[in-house]
Amino acid sequence: MIEFNTTHGFQIENPTVISSWLERVIDEEHKEVGEVNYIFCDDEYLHKMNVEFLDHDTLTDVISFDYTEGVVVSGDVYISTERVAENAIEFDVSFTDELHRVMVHGLLHYCGYKDKSDEDIVTMRAKENYYLDKR
């Protein structure tokens, strides 16, 4: 089950459509849907988590906690809607497109994709773009 939560009143548009799209991503990656929670928050909230849990004193757009077991994809994806909005401006894309990119990015981590090396980043971006085109 994919759920959407907020710490600051943000509401995702078309949650049923977005949930179905994310479930199709998981299916196409030959995984099963477990419990995936998206938590939309502000910069302050996510920065605090970044410091507390990852020892990173920086702003970020997404932090994901992976609870996947075997092929059952589960986890918590925290997304700063403030960072998404600023990144959308920086990358000259719509807020919705950037939000969906970050959402699928977190999910792809649970499916086994990394983004630490240059090669991993290229693969991750290609997967993001592939699934964004399938919304």
Partners of 72 in the β-ladder = 32, 69
Helix (H, G, I), strand (E, B), or coil: what is residue 87?
helix
**8 is known to lie in a ligand binding site:** no
Does residue 105 have a known ligand-binding role?
A: yes
Binding residue per annotation — 109? yes
Cα–Cα distance measured from residue 68 to residue 59, given in angstroms and rounded to the nearest whole number: 25
| Pairing of the two strands 72-80 and 62-66 | antiparallel
Place of tokens 């600051």: 8
Q: Which residues are annotated as a binding site for Zn(2+)?
A: 105, 109, 115
* Residues of the binding site: 105, 109, 115
